[in-house]
Structure 1
């Protein structure tokens, strides 16, 4: 997609991969009626149809890069290459993510700040790369911000989170050991100030310290919602817990609150996993919501 200009801010999408999985394996409880409603505004025949049993959730895994006031900010760093994962589809990947970053106009050394909406494996993987058998920071000139809640949670090595714990050990710990990481509260202002800069806001539930990232610079505000919402069908069934939610009830409440705010404030949204251009707006649709993508 083409970069998006919002005032003094320019936003780029950097794609890593598409990842299809059975819909009901991720979001049990979706019905045929839900799918028919989704199909009125989401037409992706290789992925969804009126039968939830045969429909997929195809996640676009990508980062967002913000150019703002002479600084370059990278939000969420996808899966990463060469990393052992218990999920075979994302284990020992060899993607051209860095090539896509370069095609967007950036070398790894151009990144000033890396921000992760949360510390799950598909949002931290390119924090590090393998060099001579050792995990080293990919973005050598960047400062990395990690939320305190997620960091402290995964530091305890919870057995129920082994998939994400693998990523914590190879994509977070080496950053801290290299002196590149900074632990911050989930309402941290990263650049400038609120409404004129880049800042974090708590969005707990999907992970203990999940947050959204907002940015604004003399133009329309942007919302990077990470994994608060994974897939368009969740705009209809925001009440259903997602497979990887740490606290499903809290995550569902956070999801609904985020959609209400996005719709009522007419925010331009930058989801972590929506396909197409990914960027767009949330609209109210009766008792639920729908999504309107920016044209590509």
Structure 2
């Protein structure tokens, strides 16, 4: 997939895998009329006129940024060889690391790893196995972790999937002294409007955030799991089945879409398939997504 260049900011997408869920499970409440509206501008072979027969298809990927002399990774997917209680992520063996290297980047070249939140499919490549232990994959990187999510997922009582990920993909980074645990509105590099900074987006997880980057061109907004699928532009009000607080997540999603609609901000969700990046446009009482060309 070709790079995206916005002024002096360069962005690459690194795909780990694609998967899908039944639409009726992932986003209960989607109607035939919603899907008809979506199919007017979004092509996906898994979409039919019937929500019960349609899939909610996802890409799991990272973004690699070059900005201000820094090499930055946003979200690190599931990782390889991790023991997971959910089969789709259990002991994966993907070519994600090879795809990173194909961009001319070795793990030791990465300066920062930024996690929009600490769910298992966003932290997995934070670590790799070395003998009988998990160690930071990116030996020279600072790992930027949101304070609220870290406090939440470091507790003992959680569903197994995310607890497993914290123990093998987050805690080793903290114990290695490579983690910067920061507020979710922190400036990370440069200055606001000309650098890299976090924006709170609580709801999908207790402390999930977005990453905004800008350097000499339009803003790039990495929205993490504020949006998972283009159907959420048609129905931003519907909670996603895996949201920690569905009502709050819907408020955040709707506010974001209203903020950037018909602007030059390039939105880069964590799970859109294909090109993934694009512009939000108003579409009557809803929104649509115009993907950037290849």
> What is the TM-score of this pair, normalised by structure 1?
0.97
Give the aligned partner of residue 243 of structure 1: 241
Contact 2:218/2:264 (<8 A) preserved: no
Give the aligned partner of residue 260 of structure 1: 258
Counterpart-to-counterpart distance in 1, 2:262 and 2:292: 18
Matching of residue 231 in structure 1 with residue 229 in structure 2: yes
Corresponding residue SS for 1:273: coil
1:71-90 aligned within 5 A: 71-90=70-89
Counterpart-to-counterpart distance in 2, 1:266 and 1:219: 9
Residue 107 of structure 1: CA displacement? 0.9
- Tell which deviates more after alignment, 258-267 or 83-92: 258-267
Corresponding residue SS for 2:174: helix
- Tell which deviates more after alignment, 57-66 or 255-264: 255-264
Give the aligned partner of residue 282 of structure 1: 280
Corresponding residue SS for 1:251: helix
Residue 5 of structure 1: CA displacement? 1.1
* CA deviations over 1:33-78 (Å, ceiling 9, x no partner): 1111110011111x21111111111111110011012110100000
The gaps in structure 2 that reach 5 residues or longer are none
1:127-142 aligned within 5 A: 127-142=126-141
Matching of residue 114 in structure 1 with residue 113 in structure 2: yes
Counterpart-to-counterpart distance in 2, 1:104 and 1:269: 22
Counterpart-to-counterpart distance in 1, 2:180 and 2:82: 23
Give the aligned partner of residue 197 of structure 1: 195
1:97-108 aligned within 5 A: 97-108=96-107
Give the paired residue count.
294
Residue 162 of structure 1: CA displacement? 2.6
Give the aligned partner of residue 33 of structure 1: 33
Corresponding residue SS for 1:200: strand
Give the aligned partner of residue 210 of structure 2: 212
Corresponding residue SS for 2:49: coil
> What is the TM-score of this pair, normalised by structure 2?
0.98
Give the aligned partner of residue 44 of structure 1: 44
Counterpart-to-counterpart distance in 1, 2:279 and 2:71: 24
Contact 2:262/2:279 (<8 A) preserved: no
Q: Over aligned residue pairs, what C-alpha RMSD do you find?
A: 0.9
Residue 105 of structure 1: CA displacement? 2.1
Residue 264 of structure 1: CA displacement? 4.5
Residue 201 of structure 1: CA displacement? 0.5
Counterpart-to-counterpart distance in 2, 1:70 and 1:233: 36
Residue 23 of structure 1: CA displacement? 1.3
Give the aligned partner of residue 291 of structure 1: 289
1:9-24 aligned within 5 A: 9-24=9-24
Q: Which runs of 4+ in 1 moved over 2 A?
A: none
2:177 to 170, 176, 179: 179
Contact 1:14/1:104 (<8 A) preserved: no
* CA deviations over 1:63-100 (Å, ceiling 9, x no partner): 00110121101000000011111110111100000001
The gaps in structure 1 that reach 5 residues or longer are none
* CA deviations over 1:99-144 (Å, ceiling 9, x no partner): 0111122111110000000000000000001111210101111000
Give the aligned partner of residue 148 of structure 2: 149
Corresponding residue SS for 1:205: coil
